[in-house]
Amino acid sequence: MRELTYAQAINEGIREEMRHNGKIVVLGEDVGKYGGVFGVTRGLYDEFGAARVRDCPLNEAAIVGCAIGLAIAGRPAIAELEFMDFTTFAMDPITNQAPKLRFFWGGQVSVPLVVRTPIAAGLGFGTQHSQSLEAWLVHVPGLKVVMPSTAYDAKGLIKTAIRDPNPVVFAESISLYSARGEIPDEEYVIPFGKADIKRKGDDVTLVALGPIMPKALQAAEELAQQGVDVEVIDPRTVAPLDIDTIVNSVKKTGRLVVAHVAHKTGGVGAEIAQQVVERAFDSLDGPPVRVAAADVPIAASQRLEQATLPDVAGMMKACLSFRQ
């Protein structure tokens, strides 16, 4: 199979869908000739033209609001927001309009909208450009939230997101944009709500979200040298969440660790842990452990930022804590 980077895989997925469906429109800041601030939309303007790949003013609320209008009018829209933090400028259209319009109108309209937005944690981009806000979005009924961790998953999931008649927030990872992975020559899609077991194991279940997955796999390999066999699970989508795969794993291992780069309090990790407690309490050998960012603003200094974010050592410590 070919190898593509995570960014190239997303680009290829969008390109294939735009070729299949001439109504799809891409909107965002610098998504046209420039190819996106991180190059993910590179080449789309040249192939599909300015009518379908539209540069927009620096106004996230307007970008998403316009995309919703296109979507309900029958033009599936892909709106790019340069950082996940900038979803805060568009929270009304993302959370108060797009997920509710189908409900408002009794199913008479669809909202085929994808909001693409990257997580920049760990790259020194500072307090207002480094947050992972998936927990805010998961709280909203009607909104799907996707967090791919590999190039293969990113392509399959972006195609599913574009085809979905409902709004989807597609949370990418800037730290993974250059990561390479094998991509089949033939087209494929990955269904929402289906977790992937990235590594099988019998001693501890480690659930890792999005950008932290490479570190989770590294922690698992290092723990294997200490005789601890870690099963690593990637939910891939956090809304819908494939809790069944996680629960079945915990029933086998008896132990659960959940890791994400979002802040610890109120994070998706807490929701996963609680659902496991509700469904597999008798299988647990100890309380679930969360490994997450400290509840402090993220510093621009990379040394301070690294001290704030979860790391390999933290996940290893959490997995080993059950031995005590």
CA end-to-end span of the chain: 44
Helices (H), the chain: 6-20, 44-48, 60-72, 91, 101-104, 134-138, 151-163, 213-224, 243-253, 268-280, 302-308, 312-320
Q: Which amino acid is at 17?
A: E
Cβ atoms 175, 215 nearer than 8 A: no
Structure tokens of 134? 């998936």
Burial label, 131 (beta-carbon count in 10 A; 0-12, 13-18, 19+) = buried
Catalytic residue, from 129, 139, 260, 263: name it: 129
260 carries an active-site annotation:
no
User: Residue 307 CA to chain centroid, in angstroms?
Assistant: 23
DSSP state of 283: G
- Residues belonging to the active site: 129
